[in-house]
Amino acid sequence: MIAWVQSVLDKGQVGSQRSWSLAAGFGPNTVQNVILRGGATVETIIGLCDAAGEDRKEAFIACGYLRESDLGRSVLKESERNLLTHVRHLKPKTLESLTEIAQALRLRDEGRA
């Protein structure tokens, strides 16, 4: 974890620890605390990655939350991945309507509607 944080700082794209913390929407000592503790929550890593333009997967691997062997394995079928990609771009109200439709269709297919 510390090595990843230091590598991002060494790239010079985030400025100081303080500026990176603030750019991520956290308190000014967040990056310093991550270094001192030697770890961070998933939410903190996501925020720091987004603020620094860093790849989340690489950060999770570097921080020990993922292994290289965890990547590339998907339990989703291609059609499910395609559907999920479209669903992620829907507005909340549209997503709510789609969920209701999907539930009704599932009940119908199970013979309970």
CATH number of the domain where residue 44 is located? 1.10.260
Helix or strand holding residue 48 (H, E): helix 42-52
Q: What integer pLDDT is reported at residue 73 of this predicted model?
A: 65
Predicted structure pTM score:
0.62
Average confidence (pLDDT) over 25-45:
94
Q: Domain range spanning residue 82?
A: 78-109
Q: How many domains does the chain have?
A: 2
Q: What integer pLDDT is reported at residue 71 of this predicted model?
A: 74
Higher pLDDT, 25 or 106: 25
Distance CA 63, CA 20 (A): 18
Q: For 55-101, what is each residue's pLDDT tens digit?
A: 998 898 888 888 877 777 666 677 887 888 888 888 889 989 999 99
Contact indicator for 88, 82 with CB cutoff of 8 Å: no
Same-domain pairing of 83 and 35: no
